[in-house]
Amino acid sequence: MSDPIELTQKQKTCVTFKPEGDLLIQGIPGSGKSTILLARAAYLKETLPNTSLLVLTYSRTLTNYVRQLCAKTISKPIDAKTFHQWGQEMLEHTDYPHTRLIMGDNRKSAIRFAKNIVNKRYDTVHFPKIKVNSNSKTDKDLVQFLCDEIEWIKGAGISSRKKYLEIARVGRGTDVRVTKLHRETIYDILEKYNEILSNHSNYQGIDGDDLAKILVEKANQIPEHLKPDHILVDEAQDLHSLQLKAISSIAKKSLTIGADKGQQIFRRSFTWKDAGIKVLGSRSQLLKQTFRSTREIIKLANDFQQQDKKYIRDEDYCRAEEPKINGKIPELILCPDQKKEDKIIIEHVKTVRSTYPDSTIGIIAHSNKKLEYLKKVLDEKGFPVYLVKEENADIISPGVKLITFQSSKGLEFDHVIITDLKKGKVPYKAPSPGEDEEEFMSRERKKLYVAMTRAKKTLLLVAQEEYSVFVDELNKDLYCLNT
Ligand SMILES: Nc1ncnc2c1ncn2[C@@H]1O[C@H](COP(=O)(O)OP(=O)(O)OP(=O)(O)O)[C@@H](O)[C@H]1O
């Protein structure tokens, strides 16, 4: 186990806060939210010996990371799971007939199937007109739109046709015009899709978005001894409001939530109140001091965050205080092509590994495909590298770790290399049909902000022609440019 950290007074207050009801800990990147959650879990285990507790996160990578941090920093084993894994386990103890989760491509094909049935069999069908992205077929775009719309409907807890016909579609874009007649058809498809989930042999199961709703409805059937006394949720901004409600309805005594809306990179829009989280007065704590990154890294990240006008208008917006620890100014390298980018990455990894052999190097890229490519390039040079997405990948030991922007959230590395600052990669090509443009760009900026704030000591940004529009948004006075 590593030496314990000397927590600040404010952090200690969060750790020892009375374990009854809700506690919301919001804080900028590196302010110690995960550290506090684990210290609180250890504190509760120690002071309340017969208590049961559980740490929940949204992603498998983060759950894996939390488990490794537990083993490194605290003496008591703590149970950590993803929301979906835990929700499925809970559901098995209710009378709900299916627990197989239908997600990703399976879900998309079930929705396409529902759309085709409605289109063939219903007398009146009105599909909204979708602006077609280049290189993509209209049907593919329509299905993507329907998938997003159904996720939005379920995430917002809309459970009747009447409510859907009347509600303002907040957070959905205006590029797809959705009239009342379109909404009737979309709701027909939603009903057909739900029917398919309940009785079609290929798709029988539970939609990931319904899991939370059903957990809330069936919470009283879950045996008391299986309900944790205390639940602690890390990176809670990644969850839907209904998922938080479900967690809240199952935790017997307390719910502790760590979150930062500045790192909200999935499509979520809710207030804590919407999610049923009651946090007035001292039940809501805000941490503005970062312990992870150097002053130079935070200055660049803070300045870049200012470009996200949508987020800085948000009531939860919080600007990081500049840390006292100084370090190297971040570096930006412009590359004409992939070959040059490979060379830069290889040289940088070589230098860092020989100067700081015991450090972690995180290489962040847009897609898993790109990570596989980088792994091959670095493997050929004889550098041992690890893909963080792999089950049980060692995230915290020294070495070179490859990770996507999305999965890097919650993690940290001594040295970070950000790649894919290229048009069509970061930001991604275009919003999905029906997605709000400003919200899309806000999320894409947050992705880069999250990646930058993973770095503890040094940050290297690698841009490739045609450069990402974000390159121009980085303040030239706050990085050093190389070609
Ligand atoms: N009081 C402290 N003194 C020194 N180091 C600290 C303190 N609190 C946290 N740290 C360190 O700061 C780093 C960031 O902490 P942590 O990962 O808990 O932050 P976080 O708020 O969860 O970050 P993020 O939201 O970016 O994932 C860790 O290396 C942690 O050990």
Distance (angstroms) between ligand 1 centre and the Cα of 464 equals 32
CA-atom Rg of the chain in angstroms: 23
Per-residue pLDDT of the chain (483 residues; tens, 9 = 90+): 566 789 999 999 999 999 999 999 999 999 999 999 999 999 999 999 889 999 999 999 999 999 998 888 877 788 999 999 999 999 999 999 888 899 999 999 999 999 999 999 888 899 988 865 545 556 888 999 999 999 889 877 888 999 999 998 877 777 788 999 999 999 999 999 999 999 998 999 999 888 998 999 999 999 999 999 999 999 999 888 889 999 999 999 999 999 998 888 877 767 788 788 888 889 999 999 999 999 999 999 999 999 999 989 988 888 999 999 999 999 999 999 999 999 999 999 999 999 999 999 999 999 999 999 999 999 999 998 999 987 778 999 999 999 999 999 999 999 999 999 999 999 988 777 777 888 899 999 999 999 999 999 999 999 999 999 999 999 999 999 987
Q: Shortest CA distance to 464 belongs to which of 348, 347, 365, 361?
A: 365
140 is in an annotated binding site: no
Q: How far apart are CA 378 and CA 194, in angstroms?
A: 46
Among protein residues, the one whose CA lies closest to atom 9 of ligand 1: 32
447 is in an annotated binding site: no
The b-or-e profile of 178-207 (16+ CB within 10 A means b, else e) is beeebbbbbbbbbebbeebbeeeeebebbb
32 is in an annotated binding site: yes
Supply angle C-alpha 7, 8, 10, rounded to 5: 120
The CATH classification of domain 9-93+210-287, taken from the options 3.40.50.300, 3.90.950.20, 3.40.50.720, 1.10.3720.10: 3.40.50.300
Ligand 1 pocket test: which of 13, 35, 287 has the largest number of ligand atoms within 8 Å of its C-beta? 35
295-481 fold: Rossmann fold (3.40.50)
Matching residue, tokens 């009239």 = 179
The b-or-e profile of 299-309 (16+ CB within 10 A means b, else e) is bbbbebbebbe
Matching residue, tokens 């993973």 = 454
Residue 131: per-residue pLDDT: 67
Residue 430: per-residue pLDDT: 79
Residue 373: per-residue pLDDT: 97
Q: How many helices (H) and strands (E) does the chain have?
A: 16, 15
H helix runs in 251-337, sequence order: 295-305, 309-312
- Enclosing H/E stretch for 126: none
Which residues touch 164 (CB under 8 Å, ≥6 apart)?
153, 158, 183, 186, 187
Q: Any idea how long the chain is?
A: 483
Distance (angstroms) between ligand 1 centre and the Cα of 321 equals 14
Domain ranges of the chain: 9-93+210-287, 101-204, 295-481
C-alpha distances out from residue 411 to 233, 331, 455, Å: 15, 21, 9
Distance (angstroms) between ligand 1 centre and the Cα of 34 equals 7
**Assigned token pair, 208:** 């990931």
Q: Shortest CA distance to 182 belongs to which of 125, 140, 123?
A: 125
Q: At what angle do helices 437-452 and 295-305 cross, to 10 degrees?
A: 180
C-alpha distances out from residue 24 to 21, 27, 249, Å: 10, 10, 16
ipTM: 0.99
| Helix, strand, or coil (residue 482) | strand
Whether 295-481 and 9-93+210-287 are alike in CATH topology: the answer is yes
Residue 44: per-residue pLDDT: 95
What's the whole-model pTM score? 0.91
Distance (angstroms) between ligand 1 centre and the Cα of 36 equals 8
Distance (angstroms) between ligand 1 centre and the Cα of 31 equals 5
Among protein residues, the one whose CA lies closest to atom 1 of ligand 1: 7
Among protein residues, the one whose CA lies closest to atom 11 of ligand 1: 291
Residue 2: per-residue pLDDT: 60
The residues facing 459 across adjacent strands are: 416
Ligand 1, atom nearest to 36 Cα:
18
Q: Tell me which residues have their CB closer than 6 angstroms to ligand 1.
A: 5-8, 11, 27, 29-35, 260, 291-292, 410, 412, 453
**Assigned token pair, 385:** 């590298």
Among protein residues, the one whose CA lies closest to atom 8 of ligand 1: 32
Q: How far apart are CA 154 and CA 482, in angstroms?
A: 47
